[in-house]
Amino acid sequence: MMENQFSTSFPEKTINDLIYIQSRKYNEKPFLISEIDSKEITYFEVDVFTKQVAGHLKGLGISKGDVVGILLDNCIEFPLLYLGVLRMGAVALPLNISLKTRDIKKLLIHSGAKVLFGYSRTMDDLLQTDDGLPQVHCQSVESLNFLSTESIYPTYGDDIGTPAFPEVSYDDVAEILYTSGTTGRPKGVMLSHRNLMVNASDIAKTLRLGDERFMCILPLCHTNGQIINLLAPFMAGGSVVLCEAFSMFSMAKFWQTIDRFKVNIVDVVPSVLSILLRLKLKQKWDTESLKYIICGAAPLPLGLQKSFEERFGHNIVQEYGLTEGTCVSSIDNIGSRRAGSVGRALENNAIRIVDDKGENVAIGDMGEVIIHGDNVMLGYYDEPEFTRETIRGEWLYTGDLGKLDDDGYLFILDRKKDIIIKSGENIYPTDIENILIKHPEIAECAVVGIPHEIEGECPKAYVVLVERAKITAEEIIQFCREYLPNRWCPESIEVVSSLPRTASGKVRKRELKDLP
Amino acid sequence: MVAPDSSRIKAVIKEFLADPNLTDEQDLNHMVDSLDLLDLVLSVELEFSISIFSEEITLKNFQTINSIASFVSSKILEASVV
């Protein structure tokens, strides 16, 4: 029976406190369930295994404030390593496994990571790069046996006779999440224990979470995976079925998995809904357990929402947020959804719509969305200037354009920043442009996001070639693939004689976006 | 009943994947992203007049060019019997 009695708040508590409290409260109740092999990890085991992770890290010389990288897909080890790092006051650095080896290396070096956990195949690739990774201790996850009751690792923390965890404050850095950084300067969003705890707690309260079972098909290296799919259910006493992230195979058995594990809530990005609409089902799966689907990280077209809800009969709850705001800033409330809106601000988060001078615009008028609250990041790692540009007077300038209605419902209308959002992933056109311009046959270039039926947006490059250039569009895409993750590469290339520019020489990207 | 031409099926798959270096037994998992895989499914459906169901999009059926060809071949046979 559903409890639906979210009454627990964790004022001034860190992740270590949270694990201590929840493991004693829910003890033998399963928290993590692997979709692949149905392996279950209870709340009690989360406590034990994360202490073993902490003990192991201590043995490796890691102490409070040291950065520990995690380069894994959605497997049981990911959340245990992540929570173990946070418990002992170290800083987690979740990395996207789809990044190129050289970019992973760049982020490890930039963050000053001391240890990296990953699959042995990835470790081998990293160590085989030109100068290896001399400053990072690489540990393959296959060599860890902390998931065994006969673990060789000492525990660490609150057990009698073991050393106590370092004192971690609510405002210490808990993790660094890189939102970009392939060719431009890496931007590492620093989130504190306060950020994580408050945002997850606000989500759990707003959705009135109890012992619901989540299905996690979003990558745990992203904030949605960590906050909505991991910490919010952990705070509420729920459970999480971990599926391979963004895999077609996971999506192909989406309804089957809901039926198999009697899932109550799934968090997706719009492209997942598009894919599900395109797939044909052989049989009818029992999805009665599903209460609703949370959708965020990218704009959800109203038509897509309607088509999905009509075909499958399950409601979609929209959320809005960004990594710099930890995860969620506003969310629909069940039973009071408003068409086209991304809901109202969370409890510990205020939203304003302002003009270019930072003054409030009238209700219903469009302006930049700015947010304030305990979910606003500490700043960008090692980027004080960029942090000052983004957080002004305690308000985070999101770069999104939107409006609020009389009842405080937020509507996202456009984007101020030059970003392409492809299936919820932020892609910075400058990262692609910086690669394109390296090609000797490309004189000028500009990358814009063009609408894509499933992914929301995709990069398209407009290029001006040098005289007598012979390069083809396909060769340009191939060139990009050598330096960029495949998902960031332009879907199409258009050769033009010149780029439209303003009087000051800036490319008029809006004009390019409006081209047929 | 007409036996499906395996080389033609493989040619269609290879043309779609557009990577001349791929071998028939190479593991495509983690090489082909979810949307490419969806497009591949839709392409072979159209090309061979078959219906591929969600439940059939499994690692076993889509791991290598050989396994995709074998699966598509069985779907063509199934369609011709119906």
pLDDT band for position A268 (cuts 50, 70, 90):
very high
Q: What is the DSSP string of A138-189?
A: EEEGGG--TTSTT--SPP-SSSTTSPPPPP--TTSEEEEEES--SSS---EE
Find chain A residues with C-beta within 8 A of B61's C-beta. Answer: none
Query: Does residue B60 belong to the interface with chain A, where contact is any CB pair within 8 Å?
Result: no
Which residue from B38, B55, B62 is facing A275, i.e. has the nearest CB? B38
Q: Give the residue on A whose Cα is nearest the Cα of B29.
A: A247
| pLDDT (0 to 100) of residue A150 | 59
Span B56-62, average pLDDT: 93
Nearest-CA distance B54 → chain A (Å): 5
Q: Give the residue on B whose Cα is nearest the Cα of A423.
A: B35
Q: Is the pLDDT of residue A101 over 90?
A: no
| pLDDT (0 to 100) of residue A339 | 85
| pLDDT (0 to 100) of residue A131 | 75
3-class secondary structure, A19: helix
Among candidates A147, A203, A198, A160, which has minimal Cα distance to A18?
A198
- Assess if residue B52 is contained within a domain: yes
| pLDDT (0 to 100) of residue A40 | 95
Return d(Cα A420, Cα A53) in angstroms, integer.
37
Ordered domains of chain A (ranges, CATH) = 12-168 (3.40.50.12780), 189-417 (3.40.50.12780), 419-514 (3.30.300.30)
Among candidates A193, A196, A229, A200, which has minimal Cα distance to A213?
A229
Phi and psi at B12, nearest 5°, equal: -65, -45
Residues near A354 by beta carbon (within 8 Å), at least 6 away in sequence: A360, A361, A367, A368, A370
- Assess if residue B20 is contained within a domain: no
Q: Is the pLDDT of residue A406 over 80?
A: yes
Return d(Cα A391, Cα A378) in angstroms, integer.
9
| pLDDT (0 to 100) of residue A83 | 97
Return d(Cα A203, Cα B66) in angstroms, integer.
46
Q: Give the residue on B whose Cα is nearest the Cα of A283.
A: B55
- Residue A149, CA atoms < 13 Å, CB-side half-sphere: 4
pLDDT band for position A182 (cuts 50, 70, 90):
very low
Span A468-481, average pLDDT: 91
- Could you list the residue range(s) of the whole structural domain that residue B32 is in? 6-15+26-81
**Whole-Å CA distances, A428 to A184, A278, A446:** 9, 28, 11
Residue contact B34–A255, C-beta within 8 A = no
| pLDDT (0 to 100) of residue A1 | 36
Exposed / middle / buried, residue A392 (Cβ in 10 Å: 0-12, 13-18, 19+): exposed
pLDDT band for position A328 (cuts 50, 70, 90):
very high
Q: What is the mean pLDDT of chain A?
A: 89
Nearest-CA distance A140 → chain B (Å): 19
Q: Is the pLDDT of residue A180 over 80?
A: no
Nearest-CA distance B12 → chain A (Å): 19
Q: What is the pLDDT of residues A26-68, one digit of tens each?
A: 999 999 999 999 999 999 999 999 988 998 899 899 999 999 9
3-class secondary structure, A190: strand
Query: Does residue B21 belong to the interface with chain A, where contact is any CB pair within 8 Å?
Result: no
Q: What is the pLDDT of residues A285-320, one digit of tens each?
A: 999 999 999 998 887 888 889 999 999 999 999 999
Span A239-267, average pLDDT: 94
- Assess if residue B51 is contained within a domain: yes
Pairing relationship of beta strands A292-295 and A420-422 according to DSSP bridges: unpaired
Q: Is the pLDDT of residue A132 over 60?
A: yes
Nearest-CA distance B80 → chain A (Å): 18
3-class secondary structure, A489: coil
Buried b vs exposed e over A128-145: b needs ≥16 C-beta within 10 Å? eeeeebeebebbebeebe
Percent of chain A whose pLDDT exceeds 90: 60
pLDDT band for position A147 (cuts 50, 70, 90):
low
| pLDDT (0 to 100) of residue A153 | 61
Instruction: Enter the tokens of residue B13.
Output: 């798959």
Q: Specify the pTM.
A: 0.86
| pLDDT (0 to 100) of residue B3 | 60
- Compute how many other C-beta atoms are within 10 angstroms of the C-beta atom of residue B19: 11
| pLDDT (0 to 100) of residue B30 | 73
Three-state secondary structure of A359-396: CECCCCCCEEEEEEECCCCCEECCCHHHHHHHEECCEE
Which residue(s) pair with A267 in the sheet? A216, A294
**Residue B32 is part of a domain; what is its CATH number?**
1.10.1200.10
Query: Does residue A283 belong to the interface with chain B, where contact is any CB pair within 8 Å?
Result: yes
Which residue from B42, B55, B59 is facing A256, i.e. has the nearest CB? B55
Residue contact B53–A248, C-beta within 8 A = no
Q: Which of A165-179, A256-270, A500-514 has the lowest mean pLDDT?
A: A500-514
Q: Is the pLDDT of residue A230 over 90?
A: yes
Find chain B residues with C-beta within 8 A of A271's C-beta. Answer: 35
- Assess if residue B30 is contained within a domain: yes
**Whole-Å CA distances, B7 to A355, A369, B14:** 62, 56, 10
Q: Is the pLDDT of residue A448 over 70?
A: yes
One-letter amino acid for residue A407 of the chain: D
- Assess if residue B67 is contained within a domain: yes
Residue contacts between A and B (CB atoms, under 8 Å) = 53
**Whole-Å CA distances, A309 to A86, A199, A274, A305, A317:** 38, 28, 12, 6, 11
Q: Are A308 and A204 in contact (CB under 8 A)?
A: no
Which residue(s) pair with A395 in the sheet? A392
Q: Is the pLDDT of residue A2 over 90?
A: no
Instruction: Enter the tokens of residue A496.
Output: 């033009």
pLDDT band for position B82 (cuts 50, 70, 90):
low
Residue contact B54–A246, C-beta within 8 A = no
Q: Structurally, how many domains does chain B consist of?
A: 1
Q: Are A266 and B38 in contact (CB under 8 A)?
A: no
- Assess if residue B54 is contained within a domain: yes
Span B9-21, average pLDDT: 83
**Whole-Å CA distances, B51 to A31, A282, B42, B56:** 38, 10, 9, 10
| pLDDT (0 to 100) of residue A163 | 64
- Assess if residue B21 is contained within a domain: no
Q: Is the pLDDT of residue A506 over 80?
A: no
Q: What is the ipTM of this complex?
A: 0.83
| pLDDT (0 to 100) of residue A154 | 63
Among candidates A416, A446, A451, which has minimal Cα distance to A429?
A446
Nearest-CA distance A342 → chain B (Å): 26
Instruction: Enter the tokens of residue A374.
Output: 């305990």
Span A228-250, average pLDDT: 93
- Assess if residue B72 is contained within a domain: yes
Residue contact A275–B55, C-beta within 8 A = no
Q: What is the DSSP string of B44-80?
A: HHHHHT---BGGG--HHHHSSHHHHHHHHHHHHHHHH
